Amino acid sequence: MVSMNRYAAAGAAVLLALSAVPASAQGTVNVYCSVQVEWCTLAANEFQKATGIKVSMTQKGSGETIAQLKAEAQNPKGDVWFGGTGDPHLQAAEENLTEAYKSPKLAELHPWAVKQNTDSGGKTVGIYAGALGYGFNTELLAKKKAAAPACWADLLKPEFKGEIQMANPNSSGTAYVAIATLVQLMGEDKAFDYLKKLHANINAYTRSGTAPMKAVARGETSVSISFVHDGVTEALAGFPVKTATPCEGTGYEIGSMSIVKGARNMANARKFYDWALTPEAQKLGAQAKQFQVPSNKATPVPPEAPKFADMKLIDYDQAKYGKSAERKRLISRWDNEVGNLPKP
């Protein structure tokens, strides 16, 4: 029995040591983070360093975060939702899951970031923008002697059969931006005809929006439908990746940030929000090798970032496609007409 007591004591000691998280006098802030994990971690650490406020952070896709916010509406656990495509943020604003806040930093932002704020009744704000396009593995394409895709129409070519990856719109905001872009570009019925044809060339619909680009980098698929800035990250890491934006025109995301309605740490949530709009905070994106265009005019645009001026951008209707009913309708149409199709 003596030995058992000793085990119990040891166990208790381990428990104590593990739970001895330094409690902070400044309190805490809970952040749902929908950008890449490296950026999330860096932002959390730097904010903690700058303010002494402890950051608890969970990283998950924007589609999953909005589901979580709905689940927790009665009993909110998060304070700030940082990053991720703008549509789910607008949807959260519409469904009253987030709180309006007028940051003093608003005046320093690009007009597109402010428009996101006015569109949502002040409940969300743009923190970065990024264009949709393709990533492709140059080695794999050379081996197949296939030309790099330059237009949406190219993706339907038979040589890309089973070679393209995109994310599943049920969990990924990236994939939803792709569908909404095609709908705005071609008209809805034609866009779904296109997606049905594209289905024959898709090898997987991933859960995460950034996974297809990583698969391209690792040579697991030749082409991905992704945000082009994700390709820059992989190319800098030494993988044979290049990107292109479609010749017919393409959509873009306004990565956004919102404060959760009924946040338990409201004062700290606002501090985080203001901080995230400063050039100092927005520079961290490039430091974490993420090359979106930052929303504060004073933030230096990283030279590696894809230039909007070089692309043919459509006039993406953020307000319309951020509507909850529209998103639900388009995704369930995709589920019924495309996602559930058998593998060709």
Partner 1 sequence: MARGFVSEGRRFLRDPALLGAVVILWLLLALFVLYPLFELLVRAFSDEGKFTAQPLLDGIADPSNRAAFVNSLILATAVGVMGTLLGFLFALTATRAGLGRRWLTLLDATALLPLVSPPFTTSIAIIFSFGPKGFISHHLLGFDNVSAYGFWSTALAETLTYFPIGYLTLRPILAAIDPNLEEMAFSLGGSRWRIFRTVTVPLCVPGFANTFLLLFAASLADFATPLILAGNSFAVLPTQAFLQITGMFDFKGGAVLSLMLLVPAAAVFLLQRYWVGRRVYVTVTGKVGQRSRTRAMAPGASVGLVVACALVAIVIVYFYALLVYASFVVAFGANETFTWRHYGVIFTEGLPAIRDTLIIALVGMPLGGFYGVLVGYLLARRRFPGRRAMEIVTIINYALPGTIVGIAYLMAFNDPPIALTGGMLIIVACYVFRYSPTGIRATVALLQQIDRSLEEASSSLGAGSGETFRRVTLPLIVPAFFAGLGVVFIRSMTAISATIFLVSISWTLITVRILENMTELALGPAAAFSVFVIVVVFAVVWGLSAVLARFRAPTAGAAARSLLGG
Which residues, 248 to 287, sit near partner 1 by CB under 8 A?
Answer: none
Rounded to the nearest whole angstrom, what is the least distance from the CB of residue 177 to partner 1 in the complex?
A: 16
Residue whose entry in the numeric block shows the structure tokens 């593995």: 137
What would the DSSP string read from start to end of 166-224? EE-TTT-HHHHHHHHHHHHHH-HHHHHHHHHHHHTTEEEEESSSSHHHHHHHTTS-SEE
Which member of 103, 181, 210, 226 binds partner 1 (CB under 8 A)?
210
* Rounded-to-10 torsion of CA 294, 295, 296, 298: 50
> Judged by CB under 8 A, does residue 204 bind partner 1?
yes
Per-residue interface string for the shown chain with partner 1, residues 54-93, x marking contact by CB under 8 A: --xxxxx--xx-xxx-xxx-xx-xx---------------
**CB-CB contact of 185 with 152 (8 Å):** yes
* 207 counts as binding partner 1 under rule CB under 8 A: yes
223 burial (CB, 10 Å; 0-12 / 13-18 / 19+) is buried
Binding mask 22-61 for partner 1 (x = CB under 8 A): --------x-x---xx---x--------------xxxxx-
Under rule CB under 8 A, residue 138 binds partner 1:
no
Token pair, residue 83, equals 């990053």
* Number of residues forming the site for partner 1 (CB under 8 A): 55
Which of 78, 260, 273 is closest to 282 using CA atoms? 273
Asked if 206 touches partner 1 (CB under 8 A), the answer is: yes
Contact criterion met (CB below 8 Å) for 228 and 150: no
Residue 202, amino acid: I
How many angstroms separate the CA atoms of 246 and 198, rounded? 15
Which residue type sits at 284?
A: L
Q: Does 323 bind partner 1 (CB under 8 A)?
A: no
CB under 8 A: which stretch of 197-205, 225-233, 282-290, 312-320 binds partner 1? Answer: 197-205
| Interacting residue with partner 1 among 171, 258, 265, 268 (CB under 8 A) | 171
Q: Which stretch binds partner 1 (CB under 8 A): 124-132, 224-232, 298-306, 334-342?
A: 334-342
Helix (H, G, I), strand (E, B), or coil: what is residue 80?
strand
Binding of residue 157 to partner 1 (CB under 8 A):
no
Give me the amino acid identity at 327. R
Nearer to partner 1 by Cβ, of 77 and 283: the residue is 77
Write out the two tokens for 207.
Answer: 């859960």
Identify which range of 114-122, 190-198, 217-225, 278-286 contacts partner 1 by CB under 8 A: 217-225
The yes or no reply on residue 218 touching partner 1 (CB under 8 A) is yes
Residue found under tokens 């700290």: 268
The binding site for partner 1 (CB under 8 A) comprises 11, 14-15, 18-19, 30, 32, 36-37, 41, 56-60, 63-64, 66-68, 70-72, 74-75, 77-78, 143, 162-163, 168, 170-171, 203-208, 210-211, 214-215, 217-221, 238-239, 335, 339-340, 342-343
